[in-house]
Structure 1
């Protein structure tokens, strides 16, 4: 009996030890999990070409591996709105996109945002927009962004050993670097009223992909058809701006000031319809399709449709007007990469800048979010991201001569780009409408003009954009 009792005693003792051990291990595991902070970042939904190269599970792992070198207590995950249309074909789709971002900024679902420059301060102007107020019930959306200037001031004497902090402090916040890795336009894009809200994160460019055999022909003098997704309002607007620049100067000297004065000059001379709008409509019909008689015709030119046409049609007489971020996907479709040539319009291209913004309403410690934002905005991280997914760094390729292992020809094209076009600046005026209003109304007006040839509504709208002509009615 003693042996049986002893056996039971020993069994109970070991069960108790096992329970305590497992409980302690579970406690350690919970404690460990509590030390990890999960940071959620909202980005735009990748288009159908880029999405093939952006595997979220893999990219999140690679990004977190990078972060673990300096911060081992955070995990970053990227998200997008699955219901978002990657091509905004109407004002309503654009408004839904803006409303979703504003709603996420108001709550704490996402801690950071990757925001397009066409959004970040696009509601800001000298004149308040009744359209923005009535549609989005917000003015000064940037009030939801964390003021990063405060954090740079607070830490400027404390973080001397932080390479990412020093780099961004010198090149973005205080601009004390003689050889800045960012150009002035890139830096200014993250500021509003001298307060820094957005850190340069990445950029994209409008480029033309040409199948070898066509030579170095460009979009405005090529006799062949051009495949481009004019269904997308942003692409149509960028195409219009490129056309303005390449065809609106005549024999004038093409300096930056003249680019951004084209619209004003044409309006003042009453030459907008004759010298810009009618030639633009002719260009669209000659180069894309001469049967654009309905909105449905125009909206059939989606990215997916034109890209398939470009990839799968045989012959050399075709080109695709896409984005630089499409490069890795496109060259992967050809056995011989040298078959694809890239062209920039007169060494000019509409540049799409993106900025990293911290949500002021996030429940996560703001000092930690600031530290993570510095790492994700560093030139080292941007270089690594470019190698992984063809996402162009925001920095100047001519200043940081990174030894990329791939894309040599592509890098050379980017380095030869002498200037970028700021699409928002093309429509700026002292007492004009904010860009968000331009973006909402102008593409639909251009589509209607291409269909019916009536330029007056577009002229009236552009006058309203430039001069806030109150007796002219937006469509």
Structure 2
């Protein structure tokens, strides 16, 4: 499982130990009457998995790690980001996967859960996220964790509140203009991690185009049809206005940089994940809102059972089902946001 990118976590090792302790504590307190869990202890191993906008070598290294660990059966259960799940059959692909990896890697190495888990036990999951757990209508993963973007602001500032109350109607371009009227440096967007860069571009694009399959099954054509030039130029202009034609800070900045400027009063907003609200809960006058147009990407993590594990598959299914249960999700939200 990847460490969170929460800039307010000072010691990741300590956080990981606490995470493992509390998950096992949940099992000991909540499912102690189920005999199958009596001798179960869950041990987590975390990896950094930070993917930088200026270098893709970490992406390749992380995928190699997932690939080799799965093949060798080093982990019985794995929690995988949506950046890596089913990448061999993704909408947009890299030649690297076709050249080095099996096109049926997930189907051959992730356990088909369709035969083990009934639909009734999956009702608490978002149907759209659950659909992403399937290949050819077979269930190979379970939704484990979900997050989305927020803008954090000081609720005791009347200028900011006047902007926030109209956020659902604003575009990112509107927000930048309104911010410039209030402050010389109104917004911090740290995009040093590649997923942040890509996801922000999707959020920006979604202000102007409906990027849903339900609306248009060919929505992705907006990125290369006749309107794409206007889109890319608009996105480029947004950054130029924001950075005064110096884009290095945005590309090389990380959440900790944006958080520092927010706390120092050099930014009206801090763009971070909704789960960060757990860290802000004891700080006075810090509130949050969805991004412009109330549109955010979602960050999903999925749990898979390794077909190469030597542990009884029925036991692993029971553990996986409990780890992704509604009760467990609420429990994790309480302690980790």
TM-score by length of 2: 0.82
Q: Is the 8 A contact 1:117 1:355 kept in 2?
A: yes
* Matched-pair contact (CA < 8 Å) for 2:87–2:93: no
Match of 2:259 among 289, 297, 307: 307
Tell me how far apart the structure 1 counterparts of residues 93 and 199 of structure 2 sit (CA, whole Å).
25
Which residue in the other structure is 2:27 paired with? Answer: 67
Q: Is 1:280 aligned with 2:235?
A: yes
| d(CA) in 2 for partners of 1:331, 1:125 | 37
Alignment of 1:264 with 2:234, yes or no, is no
Give RMSD over aligned pairs: 2.7
In 1: Cα distance, 2:74 partner to 2:212 partner: 45
1:181 is the counterpart of 2:133? no
Residue aligning to 1:140 = 104
Partner of 2:145: 202
Instruction: Name stretches of at least 5 consecutive residues in structure 2 with no aligned partner.
Output: 180-185
Provide structure 1 residue ranges, at least 5 long, that are not aligned to the other structure. Answer: 1-42, 153-167, 173-179, 391-475
Note closer, same or farther for the CA distance 1:128–1:140 as it changes in structure 2 (3 Å cut): farther
1:77 aligns with 43
**Is 1:221 aligned to residue 174 of structure 2?**
yes
Q: How does 1:8-407 map to 2 (within 5 A)?
A: 43-49=1-7, 51-52=9-10, 55-68=15-28, 69=32, 70=34, 71-81=37-47, 84-85=49-50, 87=52, 89-124=54-89, 130-134=95-99, 136-142=100-106, 143-152=108-117, 169-172=119-122, 180-212=123-155, 213=157, 214-215=160-161, 216=164, 218=167, 219-222=172-175, 223-224=178-179, 225-248=186-209, 257-258=214-215, 261-265=218-222, 267-268=224-225, 270-274=226-230, 276-288=231-243, 290-292=245-247, 297-311=249-263, 313-314=264-265, 317-332=267-282, 334=283, 336=284, 338-390=285-337
Is residue 47–residue 86 contact of structure 1 (8 Å, CA) maintained in 2?
Answer: no
Could you state the TM-score of these two structures normalised by the residue count of structure 1?
0.60
The structure with the larger Rg is 1
**CA distance in structure 2 between the partners assigned to 1:345 and 1:363 by the alignment:** 48
> Cα–Cα, structure 1 residues 50 and 76, in superposed 2: closer, same or farther, change >3 Å?
farther
Which whole-Å CA distance do the structure 2 matches of 1:95 and 1:130 have between them? 12
Q: Which has the higher contact order (CA 8 A, sep 6+)?
A: 2
The count of aligned residue pairs is: 310
Q: Deviations over 1:317-376 (max 9, x none)?
A: 5211111121112344x2x1x332322332321011211101111122211111111111
Residue 183 of structure 2 corresponds to: none
Equivalent-residue separation in structure 1 for 2:121 and 2:334 (angstroms): 23
Shift of 1:384: 0.7
